Amino acid sequence: MVGKRLSRTARRELILDAAAEAFGGAGYAGTGMRDVAARAGVSAPVLYDHFPTKAELYAVLLDRQVNALIEDWAPPPRQLDTFELFRGTVDAIFSWIERNEAAWRMIFGEAPSEQVVAEAHRRGQERATRQLAGLFRQVPHLALSVDLDRDRADEVLAEAAKSALNAIATWWWRNRDIPRVHVVAITADLLWRGLRELTDSELTDSKGKPG
């Protein structure tokens, strides 16, 4: 019995799934287009028909991985207080990282030098920053020591938080005996203790927050 012929869209998704496995296992430099074609069960001409170059394939896959992270990173319920919002977000991020190590390394690691990949990497970084900035935006007041408009303040705090999350995630992969719940707690404490100094008295007096 002849198998059902895949649509172009379905075959493209199949190729991207295979590419995720290939790049995740061998990295960008160690993966060839023939490796991806073999994993996907397609001929090299079919692969090149969908993705003319390895850089274009990697860039599309990178965009897809960022989409998955953003979709998985659903905003916590707004009725939560600020600390629980931060903790819930941190937990969602590390949960995704735990399930998608290769994708996380693609998004937050050093990007290959090809322009199309570098641009996709920059877009992914900017989207992650905007997502975190939206979280900071839910804090009613920031008592900054400099005159900086709120959007810029949220952005710079988001960049700092993103760097901290990435650094802790890198450390965690070298210390996998530490359970995720502990990593989440430490990260949430770190971010909250710093943010707490910038918030108004109503937030800093919230009951049950880390001291």
Identify whether residues 158 and 188 lie together within a single domain.
yes
Cα–Cα dist 111/122, whole Å? 9
Cα–Cα dist 35/129, whole Å? 33
pLDDT(138) > 60: yes
Model pLDDT for residues 68-94, shown as the tens digit of each residue = 988 887 665 566 677 788 888 899 999
CATH number at residue 90: 1.10.357.10
**Number of domains into which the chain is organized:** 2
The three-state secondary structure class of 119 is helix
Identify whether residues 45 and 63 lie together within a single domain.
no
Instruction: Give the structural domain span for 82.
Output: 57-199
CATH number at residue 39: 1.10.10.60
User: Is residue 186 in a domain?
Assistant: yes
pLDDT of residue 141: 82
Identify whether residues 19 and 87 lie together within a single domain.
no
Q: Which amino acid is at 191?
A: L
Identify whether residues 128 and 34 lie together within a single domain.
no
Task: Tell me the whole-structure pTM to 2 decimals.
Answer: 0.80
Identify whether residues 95 and 195 lie together within a single domain.
yes
Pair of tokens at residue 24 = 């995740």
Identify whether residues 44 and 65 lie together within a single domain.
no
Of 76, 104, 73, 98, the C-alpha closest to 176 is 98
Identify whether residues 76 and 140 lie together within a single domain.
yes
